[in-house]
């Protein structure tokens, strides 16, 4: 999943749709994010490439909407409702996810196991290469 900024990226991604849960005054999704272009990429335990400044899912509240939608810890979020999340500051990412006007977020996520699963099931090498 290493990528060079500016070059097209080729990953296997999954669409996950999460409905926000109302908890008092807030709409929550039930997971935590880490990463961003203003953060230190070396501290990210989930990324393969330690220079990757993307947004990663660092924790999933058990029983929350994210868990129900099969979001996994360590997923890299590529898009939220069409907005790009690979090159955003941490705060912007947070804002995109916690928009009060939206009830549902459609995430495009990727993880390592997706690629392997595709390889195994299809039986041919990844077409990106």
Partner 1 sequence: MDNESQYSGYSYKSSHSRSSRKHRDRRHRSKSRDSSSRADKSVTIQTPGEPLLDAESTRGEERDDNWGETTTVVTGTSEHSISNEDLTRVSKELEETTPLQCKRFVGPALGGCLSFFALVTPLAFLILPQVLWRDALEPCGTPCEGLYVSLAFKLLVLLISSWALFLRPPRATLPRFFVFRCLLMVLVFLFVASYWLFYGVRVLEPRERDYRGIVEYAASLVDALLFIQYLALVLLEVRHLQPAFCLKVVRSTDGVSKFYSVGHLSIQRAAVWVLDRYYSDFPVYNPALLNLPKSILSKKMTGFKVYSLDENTTNNSTGQSRAMIAAAARRRDNSHNEFYYEEAEMDRRVRKRKARLVVAVEEAFTHIKRLHEDEVASSPKHPREVMDPREAAQAIFAPMARAMQKYLRTTRQQAFHSMESILTHLQFCITHNMTPKAFLERYLSPGPTMQYQQQNGRGRQWTLVSEEPVTSALRQGLIFSLRRLDFSLVVTVTPLPFLRLGEEFIDPKSHKFVMRLQSETSV
Residue ranges in contact with partner 1 by CB under 8 A = 28-29, 31-34, 36, 38-40, 43, 58-59, 61, 90, 94, 97-98
CA torsion sign for 105, 75, 127, 49 is positive
* Shortest reach from residue 41's CB to partner 1, in Å: 9
Cα 116 to Cα 11, 47, 123, 125, distances in angstroms: 11, 16, 10, 10
Q: Which residue number, 46 or 110, has a Cβ lying nearer to partner 1?
A: 46
- Reduce the DSSP state of residue 22 to 3 states and report it: strand
Q: Closer CB to partner 1, residue 102 or residue 115?
A: 102
Minimum distance from CB of 61 to partner 1 (Å)?
8
Nearer to partner 1, 1 or 37 (CB): 37
What the block records as the tokens of 34 is: 């880490």
Cα within 13 Å of Cα(64), Cβ side = 19
Q: How far is the CB of 98 from partner 1 (least distance, A)?
A: 5
């Amino acid at each position: 999943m290493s990528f060079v900024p500016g070059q097209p990226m080729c990953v296997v991604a999954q669409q996950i749709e999460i409905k926000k849960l109302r908890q008092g005054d807030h709409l929550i999704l039930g997971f935590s994010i880490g990463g961003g272009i203003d953060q230190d990429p070396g501290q990210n335990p989930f990324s393969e490439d330690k220079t990757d400044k993307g947004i990663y899912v660092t924790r999933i509240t058990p029983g929350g909407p994210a868990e129900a939608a099969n979001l996994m810890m360590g997923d890299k979020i590529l898009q939220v409702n069409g907005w790009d999340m690979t090159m955003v500051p941490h705060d912007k990412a947070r804002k995109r996810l916690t928009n009060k006007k939206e009830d549902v977020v459609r995430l495009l996520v990727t993880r390592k196991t997706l690629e392997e699963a595709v390889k195994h099931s299809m039986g041919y090498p990844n077409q990106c290469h």
